[in-house]
Structure 1
Amino acid sequence: MKRVLAIVALLPVATIAPVATAAPGDVLDSVNTFIGTQDEGNTFPGASAPFGMTQVSPIGSHYAGYQYTDTAIRGFGHFFLSGAGCWEQGGLVSTLPTTGTFDPAKPSTFDQKVYASPYTHDGEVGKPGYYKVHLTGSGGIDVETTATTHTGVERYTFDKSGPANVFVNTGQADDKEPVSGSSVRIVDDRTVEGTVESQAFCGGKPYTTYFRTTFDKPFTSYGTWSPTGGTPGSKESAGGAGLRGAWLTFADPKSVTATTAISYVDADGARRNLEAEGNRDFDRVKAATQRTWRQELSSVDIRSGSADNRTVFYTSLYHTLLQPLTGNDADGRYRGFDNQVHRAVGWTYYQYFSLWDTYRSQNQLLALLRPSRARDIARSVLAIHDQGGWLPRWAYANQETNTMSGDPVTPFLVDLWRFGALSGQEMQAYQALLQNSTQIPPASSPFQGRAGNGNYQANGFVQYDPNFPKKGQDTDPAHGASATLEYALADCSLSIMAKSLGRTDDAAALAQKGRSYQNLWDAGVSDRGFTGFPRPKVTGGDWFTPASGPFTPQGQDGFHEGTAWQYQWLVQQDIPGLVQRMGGAGQAAARLDDFFAYNDLLADPAGTVRDEWVTGPYNYYNQFRYNPNNEPDLHAPWMYTLVGQPWKTSAVLRAAHTLFTNAPNGVTGNDDLGEMSAWYVFSSLGLYPAVPGTGQFVLSAPSFGKAVVHLENGRDIVLKSDGADASRIQYVQGLRVNGVLSDHAYVGLEQLTRGSTLDFRLTTDAANATWASGSGGAPPSPCAS
């Protein structure tokens, strides 16, 4: 898909000039929730509290809900995922205000595609905790939304006087979100409640959401509808798939406020959530939620940069802080992976874990900024293991979808351990991770785990078998080569934890497994002048050769959402071994140059990333370039640093940042529950957790002259880089850490969390950017050959 973006061209220049900066103000004004609502960014513009259970956002024609180019709004749903890639993304309990008469006997009257209202972008507002839009149908209606953790609040203000209606639609949701059953019941003249049974993400199983909605004014009449039409005066409608809901008529309301609470436990959960957080004035709820957002976003203080760059940064931080979602009700109850009701006392149970995406940087950003929340996230993942019998991969509500491949939960939890989030639970976590690393769930388990472990443990690789049985959408042998690389990275990270816990034999065995990628390195494969690439093997150990002809590293066989060109870099745990197999550091760097089209990038950064890198959010295969739209090679820019050319990391990142803009299409690919946004936050600050489990942050040229990260322990990480200009390619010429010169292109977690000042000296001349390029400049590999 061709992406047309508003960009600022990057041109290398000889000198650094002062950069015009935006005057710091309210951080909420530096967030634009419309970023990512076009071209498959799949974000939503509506209101949510940080990590909230409930979100209130408009529903349009797209499977993620709203799309900026939509011409009509079908309703305002009360559950959304931010940036996910599969179809089933919520929009449950859709409400829409209307005026005028309608024919209840006609079933199509209650189809949200039919009764959808046109709207205007004029006056539309998308800020943290607040969304506003003017519906131009029905005589004109302003809709404002805000949210608490467990409730969504809408205020409808009608342009004309007279009767008004609110449609509460339980039988429809986002486009392509199957609703298999629903119910609605009129409780009294201000309250409705019901259920929605919908399908989980990526072809998962149906699950039930309970809701309760209350209005600040009484409605004077009502009715419900079913697939056969509406019945005035009816108080209840329940059944399977199909049109279903209720309409509520207000005599002459001028304005109506509706508050909706949801629960995954039961109807009492929704009622208690409403009692705990509802019955408050709209403006008070908005003010309270925005205060919370202000506190969260102010954890990073950007003190320079253009207004657009600040908006891109803070919107990225905002998207990072939306998930995982709160899973327990206000009373602490939650529905576990055993489908039983449990209670979180004194902590928050979180759910919706897109681990294949978020283990790469979103997880570490949350752990750095909010260790207390990271502890609850770690505890939640362990609760899934305890109640479900296995660790998750893509956990949606209270079920495992078995979506994506590899072993993302291991680096995810190991990094949480490394950040201190498993204090007191280290051995419990380690045992669960060791089970996951070395075993396979029983056939009766809904978890698929490391389905390729049989061959991996016996022979050191996951066989490529596209017909291997599945328990969900994906299975590891269907992507045997990339699964092997992911397993190896995960095992290496676990070896670090094992060694720290005194499990020396385990640590040695896991470190050896961390080099399993070598078993798939075919030294006889050549492409584009380079020799040696990872290649799938089939059961028995033979190299895979496609029926259509010779194996090519640009093909899709054996790799999940990528090719051998992209996955060859997923070996950051063993840089010496990788470099040796590529023919030495010079050849490895030359291969990176080709991968990034580096020479073209220097001449035309913004054009190169759009014309020569992988384009289109789902264009994964038959490629030999860097894919900035997807996760497998997100860390690849830092591979330059790891092979001894750190200045090129900074150049590639500045070019990549042109893909992130203050526009609806300003997110590259799916935002994937904040992962792409977290990548931008880290890389624009100038540090990135490239090697799981090590606690090492690899450094690069920051995009801002000064940024201060306020840690939860009261200490600060200060990142200074006088003359930083995000619109140009710049390199690091020198660094002082706490006033002491440093020639290391990395800094450890412990040093950062004690409070540190990193003072970068930048240059636009690559010839002067030899900083950290010598021996010892790059961090050591934890599982080096």
Structure 2
Amino acid sequence: MKKLVAVLAAALVPAAVVTPVAAAAPVDVLDSVNTFIGTQDEGNTFPGASAPFGMTQVSPIGSHYAGYQYTDTAIRGFGHFFLSGAGCWEQGGLVSTLPRTGTFDPANPSTFDQTKYASPYTHDGEVGSPGYYKVHLTGYGGIDVETTATTRTGVERYTFDQSGPAQVFVNTGQANDKEPVSGSSIRIVDNRTVEGTVESQAFCGGKPYTTYFRTTFDKPFTSYGTWSPTGGTPGSKESAGGAGLRGAWLSFDNPGSVTASTAISYVDADGARRNLAAEGNRSFDKVKAATVNTWRKELSTIDVSGGTNDNRTVFYTSLYHTLLQPLTGNDVDGRYRGFDNQIHRAVGWTYYQYFSLWDTYRSQNQLIALLRPDRARDIAQSILAIHDQGGWLPRWAYANQETNTMTGDPVTPYLVDLWRFGALRGLEGKAYQALLQNSTQIPPADSPFQGRSGNESYQANGFVQYDPNFPKKGQDTDPNHGASATLEYALADCSLSIMARGLGKTQDANALAAKGQNYRVLWDSTVSDRGFTGFPRPKVEGGAWFTPADGPYTPEGQDGFHEGTAWQYQWLTQQDIPGLVQRMGGQQATTARLDDFFAYSDLLADPAKTVREEWVTGPYNYYNQFRYNPNNEPDLHSPWMYTLVGQPWKTSAVVRAAHTLFTNAPNGVTGNDDLGEMSAWYVFSSLGLYPAVPGTGQFVLSAPQFAKTVVHLENGRDIVLKAGGADASQLQYVQGLRVNGVQSDRAYVSLEQLTRGSTLDFRLTADAAKATWATGPGGAPPSPCA
């Protein structure tokens, strides 16, 4: 198992000066995963146990809204639902359980506040590995807690250091910090079983929703009681009501160890009971062995050779984080709660939920579709089911509701890429009609979906107006960030034009491709900054340029752009490279602007220092910047803009520098991991492949991080990536490439090439002057909407 040992200090060593040490391949790929990565500095991952794409996760609750934080000094409980890497406050921790010993005063309500009964713990011996977590609580005489999980159940084993009476607190009225619980219930079913409900707030200010649970113990409890906001009642079998402290204590006589299995359901109590009956009737060790083996198979999809142990650990932990979500949504009998709040049944497929589309359309979606096409098909079918039930496609779908979080139109490139990867076979027409509706229309006022709320202006004038006071149905709405929404719409329309053309809808394709150039409508050729002229600029209703009340417009400001600036969003135009280059004043001016954006000359001198001091200014410092922000999604693809404009060697340098931000440490994720998006970025960029332009099925190439990587596809074929002499501790460039033994001077390969099985043999060099590969005509992929 991977233990966290002295990695904090190691993380401070710049990767550019580390001498690589050849590492023998671990016997078990699971030894190359450290689930503590991302549990500090707003990575917002969780270290506890989950099955791949599981409904239930079991992880410790600390002082942070995402659950656990590595610097926490106490554990409040072990919750049974978590999101990995999300940014908003409401992130689960539902059905919090904690073992304890000793006496307590049930008449005092504060006795049952998890912030007060929390136990201190130690990192010594703490284990975080796929499917298994272990920690020693140093309070209550000392208790070992181990957790594992199936798809729909979480299993904990509590081993007490001292003999004598013990209790387990099952807390339904509290969850993660800042996760509101508006109502809950718990009921003692028999001397081994409790069940109940938790009504909690959905993500990013969404509406309350209900989670049903059932917990069973492997040993009978000898006494019990329940508590409510006014205190506890020994012998009480039930507590139910609104917000406030609520739960049950279960007492055991000298148990030695106790195992608790908890199943959840979003459908009803019967769903939780059936899930527990199907997946919970096994010992802790058997559940752990099965889940660990499942993870072993999932992670062995990619075999990497070379690099240091830390390199491998960061890579496989990133792959692990990518494969945690979206989450399974249906019970074992196929039932799930739909977006019409009715019960539906998935027969012969798995319904998935929790879609962070603004984040994951950029690379996590494509990684799952490449590695797990069968799962990608179920994901696509799940999104179409949301459209069937709710009437519209989602943007940030949490449980069975649309939160209307973030802006733009992420579902379009997301579904178009799933079509490109073959996940919509037989559903193409249905998907296209849903996407066309989403692209051209606006949901009615009484719909909970907001869709493209800026479409009235966009369809008429080619831009979304900037209006910070535009009414919204949730946390966000597109006109509040009109400039970035315009660029997102244009990218989405271009991707949909590719699908339309592929389906023989030529007229639609031409119209959508033209809209793919709408970023040009916001290009103000009079704006100058840092010696460069021409930037995207918001327009207000009526078409006038936006000018701040306190001074002239600056592309370093936040007005009109969502979690970014014009400097960062100017690159979200990868669908029309010739048009962008023309507006920036030609190739030389464009590459000079990229050099300034990445602080390229400083990066060559000291990559690790440059990315930490000039790129990254804080996990949520999105504004007043003119540099690359690797913490956030809008410009994640921008390193590959160098390749798209004819300088592929610089892409390799920038990506290698960015890799120094990902370390084998709790703070080893840059910004929120965003349901695996940042991790997927790392996986793809480490392979030397990146899906830079949505809908094209093209992977833009750069220097791989490992000497050899083999990707085992579901169809039985392999993608083999060779890069002799690859050394992640220094900047390296591609000097030459052979694809299936044939010399290639193209900086991209197609999805079709990869899925047929391919060998890409890169020749690397540390001398940029020798890196003339793919710099000639045809070296870069063509722009789909030029």
TM range (shorter): over 0.9
Q: Distance in 1 between matches of 2:205 and 2:358?
A: 17
The aligned counterpart of 2:3 is: none
Cα shift at 1:6: 1.3
Native 8 Å contact 1:479 1:557 kept in 2:
yes
**Does the 8 Å CA contact 1:11/1:603 hold for their aligned counterparts?**
no
Distance 1:364 1:730 in 2: 26
Aligned match of 1:125 in 106, 124, 127? Answer: 127
The residue number in structure 1 matching 2:580 is 578
1:101-149 Cα offsets, whole Å, 9 max, x none, are: 0000000000000000000000000000000000000000000000000
Paired amino acid for 1:505 = Q
Q: Does 1:279 align with 2:284?
A: no
Q: CA deviation at 1:8?
A: 4.1
The answer to whether 1:9 aligns with 2:14 is yes
What amino acid is aligned across from residue 97 of structure 1 in structure 2? P
Change (3 A) 1:598 1:493: same
Aligned pairs (5 A) from 1:18-97? 20-97=22-99
Deviations 1:132-173 (A, max 9, x none): 000000000000000000000000000000000000000000
- Cα distance, 1:71 vs structure 2: 0.2
The Cα of 1:316 is off from its aligned counterpart by 0.1
Aligned pairs for 1:51-450 (under 5 A) are: 51-450=53-452
Q: What secondary structure sits across from 1:180 in the alignment?
A: strand
1:176 maps to amino acid: K
Contact kept, 8 Å, 2:20 with 2:729, in 1: the verdict is no
Letter of the 2:702 partner, please give it: S
Kept in 2, the 8 Å contact 1:687–1:697? The answer is yes
For 2:5, the equivalent position in structure 1 comes to none
CA contact (8 A) 1:482 1:559 kept: yes
- 1:650 aligned residue: 652
- 1:551 is aligned, of 529, 550, 553, to 553
Question: Deviation per CA, 1:24-80, whole angstroms, max 9, x where unpaired?
Answer: 320000000000000000000000000000000000000000000000000000000
Contact 1:462 1:476 in 2 (8 A): yes
Match of 1:500 in 2: 502
Contact 1:5/1:665, CA 8 A, preserved across alignment: no
SS of equivalent residue, structure 2 residue 615: coil
In structure 2, relative to structure 1, the CA distance for the partners of 1:58 and 1:12 (3 Å cut) is closer
Residues 471-482 of structure 1 mapped to structure 2, 5 A cutoff: 471-482=473-484
CA drift at 1:21: 2.4
Contact 1:406 1:486 in 2 (8 A): yes
Contact 1:12 1:602 (C-alpha < 8 Å) held by counterparts:
no
- Letter of the aligned partner of 2:162 in structure 1? K
RMSD: 1.1
2:332 alignment partner, SS class: coil
Helix, strand or coil at the partner of 2:724: coil
Q: Deviation digits for residues 732-773 of structure 1, max 9, x if unmatched?
A: 000000000000000000000000000000000000001001
Tell whether 2:738 aligns with 1:733. Answer: no
CA contact (8 A) 1:124 1:132 kept: yes
Correspondence 1:489-528 to 2 at 5 A: 489-528=491-530
CA contact (8 A) 2:20 2:307 kept: no
Judge conservation of contact 1:523–1:581 (CA < 8 Å) in 2.
Answer: yes
Counterpart AA for 1:562: G
Matches within 5 A, 1:524-603: 524-603=526-605
Looking at structure 2, the residues matched to 60 and 389 of structure 1 have their Cα atoms a distance apart, in angstroms, of: 39
Q: Deviations over 1:562-604 (max 9, x none)?
A: 0000000000000000000000011000000000000000000
Equivalent-residue separation in structure 1 for 2:470 and 2:101 (angstroms): 55
Distance 1:726 1:5 in 2: 15
Kept in 1, the 8 Å contact 2:327–2:354? The answer is: yes
What stretches of structure 1 of length at least 5 have no aligned partner? none
Distance in 2 (CA, whole Å) between partners of 1:11 and 1:24 is 24
Secondary structure of the residue aligned to 1:612 is: helix
- Specify every segment of 5 or more residues in structure 2 that has no aligned partner in the other structure, as ranges: 1-7
Normalised by the size of structure 1, how large is the TM-score?
0.99
Q: 1:436 is aligned with what amino acid?
A: N
Whole-Å Cα distance in 2 between the matches of residues 570 and 681 of structure 1? Answer: 21
- Following superposition, the deviation at residue 22 of structure 1 comes to 3.2
Q: How far 1:354 moved relative to its partner?
A: 0.1
1:414-445, Cα deviation, whole Å (9 max, x unpaired): 00000000000000000000000000000010
1:771 partner amino acid: W
> Cα distance, 1:93 vs. partner?
0.1
Cα offsets for 1:204-225 (capped at 9, x unmatched): 0000000000000000000000
Separation (CA, whole Å) in 2 of partners of 1:174 and 1:11: 38
Distance 1:11 1:124, change over 3 A: closer
Cα distance in 2 between the residues matched to 1:762 and 1:12: 19
1:758 equivalenced with 2:760 (yes/no): yes
Matches within 5 A, 1:615-654: 615-654=617-656
1:721 corresponds in structure 2 to 723
Deviations 1:491-535, CA, capped at 9 Å, x for gaps? 000000000101100000000000000000000000000000000
Identity of aligned residues (%): 87
* Distance across 1 between alignment mates of 2:626 and 2:17: 26
- Which digits, 9 at most, give the CA deviation of each residue in 1:691-721, with x for residues without a partner? 0000000000000000000000000000000
Answer yes or no: is the 8 Å Cα contact 1:488–1:516 preserved in 2: yes
Q: Distance in 1 between matches of 2:612 and 2:507?
A: 48
Match of 1:676 in 2: 678
Q: CA deviation at 1:10?
A: 4.8
What is the TM-score of this pair, normalised by structure 2? Answer: 0.98
Output the CA distance in 2 between the equivalents of 1:312 and 1:500: 38
Matched pairs, number: 779
1: CA distance, partners of 2:213 / 2:15: 50
Deviations 1:283-319 (A, max 9, x none): 0000000110000000000121110000000000000
AA matched with 2:110? S
Comparing 20-29 with 646-655, which one deviates more in the overlay? 20-29
Counterpart secondary structure, 1:617: coil
Between the aligned partners of 1:637 and 1:614, the Cα distance in structure 2 is 15
Q: Distance in 2 between matches of 1:106 and 1:5?
A: 46
**Mapping of 1:450-469 within 5 angstroms?**
450-469=452-471
Partner of 2:660, secondary structure, is helix
**Whole-angstrom CA distance in 1 between matches of 2:24 and 2:111:** 49
Tell me which amino acid in the other structure corresponds to 1:448.
Q
- Give the deviation of 1:9 after TM superposition: 3.0
Displaced runs of 4+ in structure 1, greater than 6 A? none
